[in-house]
Amino acid sequence: MKNETQQIPAAENPEKFIGLKLGEPYKDAAGVKAVVVAGEYVFGQVPFARGMKALFILNQKLGYDCPGCAWPDPDGERSPIAEYCENGAKAIAEEATTKSLKPQFFVENAVADLAKLNDFHIGKEGRVAQPMYLPEGGTHYQPITWEGAFEKIASHLNKLESPNEAVFYTSGRTSNEAAYVYQLFTKEYGTNNLPDCSNMCHESTSFALAQTLGIGKGSVKLHDFYEAEVIVILGQNPGTNHPRMLTALQKGKANGAKIISVNPLHETGLLGFNNPQKVKGVLGVGSKLTDIFLQVKINGDLALVKAINRLLLEEEEAHPGTVFDHDFIRDNTAGYLDFISEVKKHDLDFLVDACGVSLDEIKEAANLLKHKSKIIVCWAMGITQHKNAVATINEMVNLLLIKGSIGKPGAGTCPTRGHSNVQGDRTVGIFDKPHEALLDQIKKVYGFEPPREHGYDVVKSIYAMHEGKAKVFFAMGGNFLSATPDTSFTAEALRKCNLTVHVSTKLNRSHLVHGKEALILPCLGRTDLDIHDGLTQFVSCENSTGVVQMSKGVLKPVSTDLLSEPVIVCRMAKATLGSRSKIDWDKFEKNYDHIRDDIEKVVNGFEDYNKRVRERGGFYLPNGCRERKWDTKNSKANFAVSELVVEKLADDELMMMTIRSHDQFNTTIYGLDDRYRGVYNERRVVFMNPADILRQGFEIGEVIDLYNHHDGRERVACGFIIVSYDIPERCVATYYPETNVLVPISCVADKSNQPSSKSIPVKLRRSSLFEEPIAFKVL
């Protein structure tokens, strides 16, 4: 190696190697180790009493909602002491820290210097404690008053030639109350440019399910897992990303369910689980979870599900009436015959080749499914982030429809949501393509005409900023630069803006790659007490199963200069719209009950919102699928016919998926280990099949650059260490966000426009910076 401490030259994501350690991947998830790690994170970063207070109330019925994922809380039977997981605890530790960034920090550190820190270190600097402003041409952020900040935003917004020159991004931690006033403000201001993290997350799901089943959300409740006969989990790593799902899977298994897992990696959490809340788990006695593991090629799922559907059809034809639920199909669905002819189109050999799973294994899965009807299909980013994601989801829905597996106990769809309130944000109106019914209702309630023209989603926003069509970028949370595809292109786009504004709890890279002027507006987080005019306020969130619950913070905020997200929006609205506004923002700001009263008037399903949200455990939003009421154009559940197009790789190309490690929450890097996969102390690694390492003439530990050519542009991610791993041939895995530089902005899923960041063709070459393999330690 030329120089061990040499900076990797990826300007938007610098990182140095510190010493890779490799161990065996874990066989079971959680266990006592998870409890120990959770404790280390919380008490390593948060004073003891504060940490205890935060953990005690996490996910309890009158506490705050976990800022981690959107997995539901048990309806009736919460553990009185520990209704959270290791990664929930890490999320708390990250937010509840008492470290804060004083103005002196920004005096001492120029923006350009902060940008040289890696994401792990940026996050560890502490909470942002006062509004900060970067003037045009400035090198350092400097303090600004809240009034000053709102004046700057208002003056920029009011200067634009059209409201459509502004973009308002939302990340999925935003509460219902904040999201509602935010989208209301943008509509009164005059734009539907409301990109959100959902555009990169489950947009393919929302599109597919709305067309086929009439609602873009999943249909199952937590209890359905306990009654299911078969649970199919595709493209999801619950041990890391939805850890408490393992408890539900374990319970389902104890009641007789079988689990089929579909994944290019033998993810630990799919294989087994040591429940730390059970004596057996504490003693290290794990439960096996997966019964049939299908190690699919990256993006082989459409072919795989088509093959399963074809085998089920053959069985049905051989023994009519024994496999398909014809009553359900007749009474509820449309498009059955088209589906049958599509399924017959491809022979099994072709499908087997396209998915990379052997015919015997596919038959085993089909045999397990054929006489079962209580089937749940779960999926996440391994399905949604591909070009043909919508088609794959449609095919999974087809499987549920032939089996009559929707709208009854123990069966249905479970698109497992990521961010804790990403589903709620969409419910209350964060959408670049707002439904006409919502707009009509807004017009009726507030007396202004909201814009009807669709706005920009994430990808369209980046193009618009790049082309100079959008000039002000406002983010309600998140880390737009790092989360979006094509990092360098997105950086160029953000830098062209006149103003970039981030409402944020912590400093992140998006604050350091900024517009001509920039603002950071510090806000209260989920754990923080929100007291306003002597009244303690609370917000509410919707989980993956459509339960809306209150979330009330308990911790003393790190600074008196933080405002809550709803208050920030109200003040921005007042400053920008002034007397033009027909909305009483002061009322909303004073008491969020008024916001909830308005949500009730405008959005379906929130009757008695203020009363029901105060009930322990909250309430379920309506979901037509559960009652077999299909809110589609033809009022039927629709089979969808999707063509299978197999992507061909050039001889020296590999297909890359960008995945999460165990120690991160999206772009927030909690730590540098990926314990379950046996990788420690480094994130710049590339997981490769041993045969590919050999074929390409590399060796384990060698440092390579990943690159590709697309749209006439070479994209390079420099300096990744080769790790040998059990992954299908021609497939590689790297961590997000380090390799987002390689995801071309134009590579998106058909119909949903979601970046296809899990099927990116890449090539490998010896790194120009590192001539010799990195020495790594084997544990």
Ligand X SMILES: Nc1nc2c(c(=O)[nH]1)N[C@H]1C(S)=C(S)[C@@H](COP(=O)(O)OP(=O)(O)OC[C@H]3O[C@@H](n4cnc5c(=O)[nH]c(N)nc54)[C@H](O)[C@@H]3O)O[C@H]1N2
Q: Which residues bind ligand SF4 (CB under 6 A)?
A: 59, 66, 68-69, 71, 84-85, 87-88, 242-244
CB of 235 to ligand SF4, least distance (A): 18
Tokens encoding 52: 């205890």
Least separation in angstroms between residue 83's CB and ligand SF4 is 7
Q: Which among ligand SF4, ligand X, Mo ion, none contacts residue 199 (Cβ within 5 to 8 A by kind)?
A: none
Binding-site partner at residue 88 among Mo ion, ligand SF4, ligand X, none, CB < 5 to 8 Å by type: ligand SF4
Residues 516-555 contacting ligand X, CB under 6 A: 523, 525-526
Under the binding rule (CB under 6 A), the answer on residue 667 touching ligand X is yes
Q: Which of 343, 391, 335 is nearest to 634 (CA)?
A: 335
- Rounded to 5 degrees, what are φ and ψ at 647? -75, 135
Token pair of 353 as six digits: 């080749």
CB closer to ligand X, 88 vs 404: 88
Alpha-carbon distances, residue 412 vs 65, 71, 281, 396, 400 (angstroms) = 25, 16, 29, 10, 7
Give the integer Cα–Cα distance in Å for 638 and 283. Answer: 48
- Asked if residue 490 binds ligand X (CB under 6 A), the reply is no
506 binds, among ligand X, Mo ion, ligand SF4, none (CB under 5 to 8 A by kind): ligand X
Residue ranges in 148-187 that form contacts with ligand X under rule CB under 6 A: 171-173
Task: Indicate the residue among 37 and 201 with the shorter CB distance to Mo ion.
Answer: 201
Binding mask 92-131 for ligand X (x = CB under 6 A): ----------------------------------------
* Positions that interact with Mo ion (CB under 5 A): 201, 418
CB of 200 to ligand X, least distance (A): 4
What single string gives the DSSP state of each residue in 167-180?
Answer: EEEE-TT--HHHHH
Tokens coding 68: 């981690």
Least distance from ligand X to the Cβ atom of residue 444, Å: 30
The minimum distance between CB 95 and ligand SF4, in angstroms, equals 12
Residue 757 interaction partner, one of ligand SF4, Mo ion, ligand X, none, beta carbon < 5-8 Å per kind: ligand X
* Partner touching 307 among ligand SF4, ligand X, Mo ion, none, CB below 5 to 8 Å by kind: none
Q: Enumerate residues 6+ apart whose C-beta is below 8 A from 322.
A: 315, 316, 370, 371
Contacting range for ligand X; rule: CB under 6 A; set: 47-55, 228-236, 428-436, 625-633: 228-236
Rank residues 71 and 339 by Cβ distance to ligand SF4 and give the closer one: 71
How many CA atoms, within 13 angstroms, populate the side-chain half-sphere of residue 181? 32
Residue 430 beta carbon to ligand SF4: minimum distance, rounded to whole angstroms? 20
**If phi over 0 gives left and psi between -120 and 50 gives alpha, with beta otherwise, what is residue 111?**
alpha
Question: Closest approach of Cβ 24 to ligand X, in Å?
Answer: 18
By C-beta, is 201 or 541 nearer to Mo ion? 201
Cα–Cα dist 494/388, whole Å: 29
Taking CB under 6 A as the rule, does residue 434 contact ligand X? no
Judged by CB under 6 A, does residue 262 bind ligand X? Answer: yes
Angstrom distance (rounded) from CA 5 to CA 340: 60
CB nearer to Mo ion: pick between 68 and 761: 68
Q: Which two tokens stand for residue 111?
A: 């923006």
C-alpha distances in Å from residue 439, one per residue of 165, 196, 248, 429: 21, 19, 38, 9
Contact (Cβ atoms closer than 8 angstroms) between residue 654 and residue 730 = yes
HEC sequence for 477-530: CCCHHHHCCCHHHHHHHHHCCCEEEEEECECCHHHCCCCCEEEEEEECCCCECC
| Minimal CB distance residue for Mo ion | 418
Burial class of residue 582 in the structure, from the number of CB atoms within 10 Å of its CB (0-12 exposed, 13-18 middle, 19+ buried): exposed
Write down the residue that tokens 């993006």 correspond to. Answer: 299
Beta carbons of 302 and 235 less than 8 angstroms apart: no
Rounded least distance, CB 198 to Mo ion, Å: 7
Interacting residues with ligand X (CB under 6 A): 68-69, 87, 171-173, 197, 200-201, 234-237, 240-241, 262-265, 267, 296, 298-299, 301, 380-382, 385, 418-419, 476-480, 483, 503-506, 508, 523, 525-526, 565, 657-660, 664-668, 736, 740, 743, 757-758
